[in-house]
Structure formats: structure tokens, C-alpha cells
Structure 1
């Protein structure tokens, strides 16, 4: 009996020791987790799961570790087990939905998000179910950004690339060439430093490329931004200055933004800024185009989510004033960061709170057309800038075409890699439709765009100013037609081939002439003309109705027919005797038969023969503003190519018209 009792006691002690050992492991794992040492914490949680100790809790914590490490693959794997647990907190449905999205499992992600809602969860941020067609629209959108090679990535984290004066400044954990590396507990990588290399360098960057001066410390440094004159730098760093590290109430070292000045080629005179605080983080500095505003990321009091974008004014003397949150259009209940402002004043930022493709996505802001200070919406930059992984630290060079961003997507060299891009902006054709007589805009004119195969690709109407704008593809031939009930159609052909990438607008103004059913020459002498106002009968548009009778031509001919010489003689009398200051335009046309090239030549000959006749009869050449042929572009009826028409209808298109410009 004594031996049995002894064995039982030993077994009990062993079990107690095992329990105490596992309890100690869990406590150690939780301590590591709370200190953001997620790599080491994950190792201990895996051991607890293998030992089947408090397995449900350890699995939840392990899944959270992978989520913080931005490892969607393992996060999805363990969250999948977590959501099967009894009485699991409903928040894990949402976390699982996010992890699935990071693995491009969008439909399944939607299902778990809906389950989260049905279980009482509230989604105010990243509610990607609000746009059921978001994924389709993003992947189906016209690609504007194209990726280029970057030669200075490492096997560690690289991000925050910012180009200034031919140099690229970036943040990296590489610390290559250093014998002893200090590791950051969050991801077990070396602490970040700021590096600089030539923008066109084909060599990788090592410790010799570290920024010279006092910016780099023994803790995290970067990313940076530099004023336009190159004399002042703003940069992120842990709360560490003058060899003193300051921790918050929880024992953590937050981030601050510091200011440095360039002295004899060295960045020095490090200055702590008044926007910083010991108990919250301030980081990711970005300057606007004229260096009068500093944008940054912070989780300070007043922050809506995990972190928000903030802005502060910079006075000429460097004083920072009028700190404010950029607002709810940009900031969500989740995390926003890495602001950047391009030369057009557009704010770019990263977020996992707006509808995106996965984890952090990059967004651009849209401002109110009337109030350029008010942000009204944000747009996702789409692929390939965004992916199902983290995409962040976007910057654009002054050319508005090239730039950089970072991502931890698959296929990179390290955990975070820098990607270069070049942008092919959306091209559009725009113009104004104008009345040919009074040069006033024509509102509600119908604009139809055709491709080189005469297929209609777009349709719209001009606004009250006669203006239109249509997005078009590059490297295409187009035809654009303007039409309105009271006018003869006008069209232009143009091409978007072989144009510069920087070009975003092709101009195509259109001119509409009134339909020739207006005042007859015989009636013109009865018009009551107001010489003081230079208009007819007080109506500023009445001159537009003072068109002379057209003359007509035989098929494929441009000689003046006898019966129309009589009409021309009436015009001669009008311009030499009755109204010697009268100014006209001559516009000649053909029917649709024949090629465009042939008809352009034929109509030009008709205009010229008409002009020559009038001049030969004594009309002052200065009173004929122009004579021009329009080919078959301005048919006045339905007799276009391929349409069967009687000869009489074709005859109506073979005409020369006289447009009255001025009568004094």
C-alpha cells in the first residue's frame, strides 16, 4: 500500500508539474503577445496546442499572431479552426472573413461577414459587402498602373521609397554589413534605418548607403519626406532622442516625427516636434506641394480607428499650428496610414478599413469640384498596385507618371518589397460645340464617338456651355460627330496613336452650321437691321438666320451652272452695292458617293470656283472670310454611304452655302 501511495503521489506531482509548466508557457506566450513579440509568441502558442493545453484559447491567440504578422495563409488556417469552436466570440467571424479576403477567397469571405452581421456584429468599416460587384469592377477596370523593376530590395523589409532630386530615400531592415544585428520583437527583423541611393542605380544598397548624419538611431527610423528646397527632412523614429528612450504607461516605445536640417551634406539638428506625445504614436510624415502642410498617421486621442490620417499647418518660421483630423471620408474604424500628396494635391493613403482587395490597400481621394479643400470620396487604385496582401507607402514623383509603393505580396524578395510603377493616365477627348454663325456654344448637342470600324463606342450630350468630355483608349483611331436638330452635323477624325504618356487630353472642337432653311436672299432686304447694335431686329441670334441661298452642282463637277450664276450675281450686288461691308464664309459640300479623300478634293474645288466667281465680279476678297470644302461630312439628309437615295436627294447635298458673318 505504501508503494502504491508513493506512486500515486509521484503521478500527481508529475501532473501538477506539467500543469504548472503549461500554465507558465501560456503566461510567457501572453506576455510576448502583449509586448508585440508575435514571432516568439506564436512559437509558444504552437507548443501549447501540441500539448493540448487550453487549446481553443491558444488557437485563437495563434491566429491573431499571424494576422498581426500579416500572414494571411496561416491566419486563415487557424481562424478556420477558431470559428468552429463552441461559443467563440463573434469578432472571430469578422477576422476569418478578413483572412479569407487576404487569400482571394472573396465569396467565402462575404459569407462569413454576413454571418458576423447576423450574429450581431456591427461593420462600419471595410464593409465590402456594400459593393457586391467591387471585385469584378476592380479587376475589370482599365489598367492605369504598370510595374517596373526595383534593384535595391533585400530579403528584409523595404518600404517608404521617396524620390527627391535624383535620389531615392527608403526605409529598410537590411542592416547588411553589420556584425551584430539588433532584432525587433514584432517580426524578428533588424530595426529600420533610412537608406539613400541614386534613382537610376543598378547596384543594390548596403550599409554604405545609410543616410549620413544623425537621423538613423539604434531603434526604428523612417520613412522620410523632404521639403522642395532639399534643406529640411521630416522622419519617423521611435521615441528616442539624444540617447534617451521614453516609454509610455504600458512600457512601450511609441513613434514620433522629428525634423532634421541639412548641414554640409549631413542631416543633423534633430528636433522633436510639438505634435508628438509619449502615450501615442505619430509617424509617416508627408508634405503638400508647397510645404505648408504636414500630413501624418497617429492614434492620438480623437482618432476614430486604430490609426487616422491627421494634418497640421506649417508656418514660414516652422511653427506647427491648427492640428486636425482629415475627417471621416478618409478615416474609418480600422487603420489608415502612409499619407502622400502629389503635385495636384491628391491625398493617397493606405487603409484596411475601406473596401479593398485584401489587407492594406492604397486609395486616392476625390475633392469637391467647387471646394478644393473638401474631400468627398476615396477610390481604390486597383490592380496591380493593390493585391490581396498589404500594399502601402505610395509615393508619386513630380512628373505625375512614375513612383513607388511597397507590398508584402507573394513573389517578392523579402517580407516587404518596394515596387516601382509608371502610370498611363486615362486619356479623354474633349471639346466645345459652337454655332458657326454667332460663335455661341450649343448646349444639348448629341456627341457620338465611333471607332475606326464605325462602331459606336460612346454617346453623350454637351452641357450648358457646349462642352463634352469622353474617356478613350490609347493607340486607336476615332471619329466624333456632333448633331443637333437645328444644325447640320459636324465631325472630326482623330487618333490616340503615338502620343506622349503625359498627355491626358485630345481636343476636338466641333462647329455646327444651321440647317439651310433660313432667310432667302429675296427676303434679306426686308430684314430690319440695327446698325448701332450690329444685329438684326434686336435679336443677337438673328444674324444666324441671314443665310443666302445655296447653289448646287452636278455629280462630280465643280463648275458654276448657269442657273446658279444668277444666284451668285445677286450675292455680288448685295456685297458690292447694298452691303459693301458684308462678310461671308463659303462652305462647299458633296454627296456621299465616292471616297472621303476624293470628296474632300471635290468640295474644295467647288468652294474655290465659287470664290473665284465672286472675286471676278468685283467682290472684295477681304469680305470673304474663308472658303472651305467639307466633303461628305455635313450631309443634310439620310443619304449616307450605303443608303439608297433618289438622285434629287443626293443633289441637295452637292451644294455651296454662304454664311453671313457680319452686316454693317
Structure 2
């Protein structure tokens, strides 16, 4: 063999060995991927990309590894290259859109989702694209949840926290107290165990804080839930009991829910439940308020998506029966899990199929008041949800505090537990009642004003005279009830300095009926803010008491002689004709002058009117309020910058009398 042929043969052999080596690496990477050992698989795929061996395929699988590891930053980095490949499966457009959403790149995410749909991809009905305004609406919503410090996170995965009787139970991969560590191939972390610590402890729990008894095994254990009496625990565990691990047809060990009882402070008597199966997973147990229903996540037959929320009844003897899927309002074609039911019966859960901010988001259900059926779900918004995975929500019995988990940036480990306190929505409610017969007044108009007399909201009472309006905290309000056949009633109240736990302020209102005869507005509709009726016996005196407008000179607040005569008619009404009549005095200015000056001027006009009426014998208690409104309530177009003559300006320099009560 000559030297040239020898060199050629050597090069061929070297190339063959190199190809065989790369083929072996790809086979190893795929084997690791199929065993869900994504950390190790990613390293081998990186090596294949570096050696330019089957690069397009390796890049796709590497991006998928990071997606399974819930790492949207690295996933989007490689999916960006994948979607540029020729003849790439369109499913990668969707995967890229999801990873971008996990990076808060919502606009770009929508572009690639639309490309997926334009290419023939089918998006499930609850996909995040259904509401293009969702992101802005969630970030613009009033914040109800506020994050608190948690002292018991580790550098590993921590989640599933819930509090009961002063103890916090949680699931963690922190086990560093054993000589031989067993790692879970998916993320190369230790297997999960169940821990417990005092809720107010400042010490970070270690392996000595594992729950006592037979709960923790050599595989995954947790999360857990415990009955209200503290005697029974339901917990997730790999299909492993009595030292036997059972795999399904794919060679995977699924999850099951087991039941344990507390005996002498030790959890024991482990029981496999009939809702489990060897060929599907059953996990994330949660109990309703009276421990009569067990909610869980499962991919069992009949599941709509990757996993669904299911529920089964618990009989007093512990027998489980009437298994059912909670329905399509909650469950999507994607994955739902980590159910939790608070003391009001609201189901919380995590999903990546409903409209969300990132990957897994936490949602709450809304029920129909009559049928008690779930009719909708709502996203809890920020800061509970983020662009990462947010899950395992729980709420304490007080309805104020609780926990959830997230793998968002800024945490200590891969998954961290976050504590929250909630400031519930506050509302004012009450019943409007007829002051004479005590019956409720339906269809009464309820108007809510802020401290500046700006209208905030209005509604009508129901057939029982009931109303309810959501309000902000730390504000002053006035609420007015009105109805055509009644005299208005109002109350002032404040939402300042009230306890966080309070969600309701009561404001009942009484309406005094009046006969349908001559209206007080006949005195002068220019002077009277509200039209109210007098009794039929007094119609003659009313007609004889017609008032002329009460006006003021420019920049003056003294009572002019001709208008003092008109005020004397008000005095007669309030001292002789209707001694129980109560009014409010509202004074106004024209638009000339500064805003601040006109406020002071109108207040002085209201005060001078008040002083005059009192000096003539009107009972001070019958003048509920006197107030100046400056130039806020002009009755014509003569605002700043508008040219008006003196007569037009004069119309705005007026005093109005608002009838509050006529008995």
C-alpha cells in the first residue's frame, strides 16, 4: 500500500470512528431524554451541536429539554434557531410562542402563535391568545395579594406549603442529611420528601424536620393535605409501597395518592387508594372545607388534556365514591394541577392552558349563585403569577394569608415557596327601607360619592331593597338613596383605618314617603338642587311662597337686601310651616378668579347664608351642611376662557337649597 492510499485509509477510518462516536452520543442523548433525564441529555445535545452532528435535530431536542426543565430563557434561545430551520414542524412555532411568553415578550409571543395558527395549527379554546388585552388588564388590575418573607426555602425545589394548627407542611428536595444521595434524573435533584416546621420559626428546617412516620420513602413523596381534625393525611408518592416500585408500560413510575393516619404523633398505616392506577398518575391531593371531598390531578382515562382536576366523595367510613372530572370550565387541553379549596368553597388550581402571564399560572373559580356550578375562572394576576411557573396555592383558614410556589427569577432554589397576605375587596352594603311601614324599597337609586362629591358609582336596589357596591379602602364616602315617591336619605362613612379582615361596611338607609302633590321645586327650580314634595294641605302656602333667585355681587358674599326678603320666606317655611324640614346650603361662584380663591369665596357665601337663617330663628340642627363649591358647578357655558356678559356670570353666583328631610 503506497503512502497516499495509507493516508486516505487512515482518514476514512478516523471519520468513521468520529461518525460512530457522534451516533453513539445521539443515541445516548435520546435515551436520556426518553428517561426524562433532561439535565444530562441537554449536555450531550450541546456536544452534538458543537460538533455539527445532526445539528437541527439536536437543537430541537435541546430546546425541548429546557422547556421540560421550565427554563424559558434557554428554551427561547434555542427555539429561535429552530423556527428558522427548513421544513420545521409547525408545533415548534407554538413552543417558541410559549417560551417567549415565559420571558414576558408578549407581543413577540403573539406573532409566533399567529404564525402557528396560520400554518394550520389548532389552538385550544382556552389558549392565552383568546384575549389580546389580557396582559394589560391583569397588570392594570387593583392588587389584592402582597408577598411576605419566607424563611424555609433551600437551594433545591421547595413547594406544596400549607399551614394548619400553627405548623407549615411542605415538600422539598433539600435532603442533605443522608450519606448516599439519590438523584431524580429529570432535574438532577434529590427526591422529594415531606417536611414540617413551626409557622413562626425563624430557623431554616433541615432533614431533621421531616414528618415522623412512614410518609417519606426513597422516591418522591408529597405534597400532602391533612383533615381538619389532624388525624388523616392524604399524600402523593411514586407508585412505591412496601419496598416495591411499579412501572407502567412505558417503564415510568407514576404517582399515586396514599392515605395515612396519625398514631401517637407518628404517621403510619399507609393505604393505597382505589382511585389510583399503575398506568396513570394521581397526585396533588386537596380536601374541601368539611373533608367530604378529595380533589386531585390525574391523567387517567377520561382526562381532557395533559392532566385534569378530578374530585371524589369521601364517605364517613373513608370509602371513596362518585369519581368525576370537575369539567371543561376548569380543565383544558393542556395541563391542570395543584387544586386547593378555601373555606368559602372556591377552587384554586394551576394551569398552562388558560389565559396566563407565563407558564403555569394560578387561577380561581367562579360559581353560579343558584346552581353552585363552576361558570368561569379568573387569573389571580401579579404578584402571585409571573412569567414563570406559579403553582401549589394554599390559603389559611383566615382567608388572608397563605402560600404558593414559583420558579421565578430572584428565588433561592429551582422552586421556592412564597408567602402572601391578601387585602380583600371591600364593599358597602345595606337595605333601603320605607321609614313609615318598615318595608324594603325596591328599585331605589343608590349613588356613591367620594369626598369631593364626585359620583363614583350607582345602582338600584333589588326586590328586597338590598344593594352592594365595591369600594376602595382608605377613602371617605357619601351614599345617597333616592326614589320618586320618597325624600332622599344619605349617609357618610369612611373606609379608613379598618381591619384587613373586614370586607363589608353596612350602610342602611331610610326613605320618608311624601304624597304626590305640589313640589317644593315650585319655589324655584334654580334655587333647589332636588325636587321634593310637600303635603297637600300646604299647597296654598307653597304657591304663595315663590322665591326669586338668590344671587351675589361679583367677589362679594354679603346678603343683598332684596335677597334677604327671599331668605325670609325660607325662614318661614322652616320655622312655621315645616319646623322639621332639613336642608343643605350650597353656594357657587362664577369662573372668574383662581380656583382656590373661588373655593374660599363660595364657602363664605354659604356661611353668610347659614348665619342669616340662624339669626332669624332657624334651628341649626335643621341645616345639615353648608358648603362652597367654587366654580365647579357652573350652570351655563361661562367657563374660563369663554367670553360672557355680566348677566351670564351673575347666574353662576348663586345659593342653592337642597332638601334632605321633610317630615
What is the alpha-carbon root mean square deviation over aligned residues? 3.2
Partner of 2:320: 320
Q: Is the 8 Å Cα contact of residues 514 and 535 (structure 2) preserved in structure 1?
A: no
Partner of 2:131: 131
Give 1:12 shift.
1.7
Partner of 2:111: 111
Cα gap change, 1:173 to 1:607, in 2 (>3 Å)? same
Q: Is the 8 Å Cα contact of residues 606 and 656 (structure 1) preserved in structure 2?
A: no
Structure 1, residues 233-268: CA drift from partner, whole Å, max 9, x if none?
000000111111111111111100000000000001
Q: Is the 8 Å Cα contact of residues 490 and 633 (structure 1) preserved in structure 2?
A: no
- The alignment status of 1:58 with 2:63, answered yes or no, reads no
Q: Is the 8 Å Cα contact of residues 429 and 472 (structure 1) preserved in structure 2?
A: yes
Structure 1, residues 176-212: CA drift from partner, whole Å, max 9, x if none?
3323211000000000000000000011000110111
- The alignment status of 1:393 with 2:392, answered yes or no, reads yes
- For 1:237 and 1:77, the matched residues in 2 are separated by 34
- For 2:338 and 2:437, the matched residues in 1 are separated by 53
- The alignment status of 1:467 with 2:472, answered yes or no, reads no
Give 1:555 shift.
9.2
Structure 1, residues 58-108: CA drift from partner, whole Å, max 9, x if none?
100000000000000000000000000000000000000000000000000
- The alignment status of 1:631 with 2:624, answered yes or no, reads yes
Give 1:17 shift.
1.4
- For 2:129 and 2:258, the matched residues in 1 are separated by 40
Give 1:14 shift.
1.6
Give 1:471 shift.
1.4
Give 1:132 shift.
1.2
Cα gap change, 1:607 to 1:389, in 2 (>3 Å)? same
Cα gap change, 1:136 to 1:11, in 2 (>3 Å)? same
- For 2:10 and 2:506, the matched residues in 1 are separated by 92
Partner of 1:225: 225
Q: Is the 8 Å Cα contact of residues 362 and 380 (structure 1) preserved in structure 2?
A: yes
Superposition TM-score, scaled by structure 1 size: 0.83
Task: Return 5+ residue gaps in structure 1 as ranges.
Answer: 521-543, 569-584, 609-627, 635-639, 659-664
SS in structure 2 at match of 1:59: helix
Cα gap change, 1:219 to 1:547, in 2 (>3 Å)? farther
Cα gap change, 1:78 to 1:430, in 2 (>3 Å)? same
SS in structure 2 at match of 1:631: strand
Q: Is the 8 Å Cα contact of residues 358 and 388 (structure 1) preserved in structure 2?
A: yes
Superposition TM-score, scaled by structure 2 size: 0.83
Give 1:428 shift.
1.2
SS in structure 2 at match of 1:253: coil
Cα gap change, 1:44 to 1:559, in 2 (>3 Å)? closer
- The alignment status of 1:140 with 2:140, answered yes or no, reads yes
Q: Is the 8 Å Cα contact of residues 515 and 536 (structure 2) preserved in structure 1?
A: yes
- For 1:654 and 1:34, the matched residues in 2 are separated by 80
Cα gap change, 1:36 to 1:332, in 2 (>3 Å)? same
- For 2:154 and 2:178, the matched residues in 1 are separated by 15
- For 2:223 and 2:199, the matched residues in 1 are separated by 17
User: Aligned ranges for residues 538-557 of structure 1 at < 5 Å?
Assistant: 549=538
Q: Is the 8 Å Cα contact of residues 585 and 623 (structure 2) preserved in structure 1?
A: no
Give 1:20 shift.
1.3
- The alignment status of 1:657 with 2:662, answered yes or no, reads yes
Q: Is the 8 Å Cα contact of residues 487 and 513 (structure 1) preserved in structure 2?
A: yes
Structure 1, residues 19-77: CA drift from partner, whole Å, max 9, x if none?
11111111111111111000000011101111111111110000000000000000000
Q: Is the 8 Å Cα contact of residues 487 and 661 (structure 2) preserved in structure 1?
A: no
Q: Is the 8 Å Cα contact of residues 143 and 383 (structure 1) preserved in structure 2?
A: yes
Q: Is the 8 Å Cα contact of residues 556 and 602 (structure 1) preserved in structure 2?
A: no
SS in structure 1 at match of 2:322: strand
Partner of 1:576: none
- For 1:563 and 1:301, the matched residues in 2 are separated by 79
User: Aligned ranges for residues 415-454 of structure 1 at < 5 Å?
Assistant: 415-454=414-453
Structure 1, residues 371-402: CA drift from partner, whole Å, max 9, x if none?
11x10000000000000000000000000000
Cα gap change, 1:513 to 1:159, in 2 (>3 Å)? same
Cα gap change, 1:485 to 1:38, in 2 (>3 Å)? same
SS in structure 1 at match of 2:662: strand
Structure 1, residues 508-546: CA drift from partner, whole Å, max 9, x if none?
2223334565499xxxxxxxxxxxxxxxxxxxxxxx997
Partner of 2:19: 19
SS in structure 2 at match of 1:67: helix
Give 1:606 shift.
6.0
Cα gap change, 1:62 to 1:646, in 2 (>3 Å)? closer
Partner of 1:158: 158
Partner of 1:511: 510
- For 2:14 and 2:81, the matched residues in 1 are separated by 31
Q: Is the 8 Å Cα contact of residues 488 and 661 (structure 2) preserved in structure 1?
A: no
- For 2:144 and 2:2, the matched residues in 1 are separated by 83
Cα gap change, 1:180 to 1:512, in 2 (>3 Å)? same
Cα gap change, 1:54 to 1:479, in 2 (>3 Å)? same
Partner of 1:175: 175
SS in structure 2 at match of 1:138: helix
Q: Which has the larger displacement, 468-477 or 587-596?
A: 587-596
- For 1:303 and 1:264, the matched residues in 2 are separated by 39
Cα gap change, 1:654 to 1:423, in 2 (>3 Å)? closer
Cα gap change, 1:649 to 1:484, in 2 (>3 Å)? farther
- The alignment status of 1:8 with 2:8, answered yes or no, reads yes
SS in structure 1 at match of 2:169: strand
Partner of 1:637: none
Q: Is the 8 Å Cα contact of residues 588 and 606 (structure 1) preserved in structure 2?
A: no
Q: Is the 8 Å Cα contact of residues 607 and 656 (structure 1) preserved in structure 2?
A: no
- For 1:562 and 1:77, the matched residues in 2 are separated by 82
Partner of 1:478: 477
Cα gap change, 1:37 to 1:547, in 2 (>3 Å)? farther
Give 1:505 shift.
1.2
Partner of 2:405: 406
Structure 1, residues 160-183: CA drift from partner, whole Å, max 9, x if none?
001111000000000133232110
Partner of 1:286: 286
Cα gap change, 1:85 to 1:649, in 2 (>3 Å)? closer
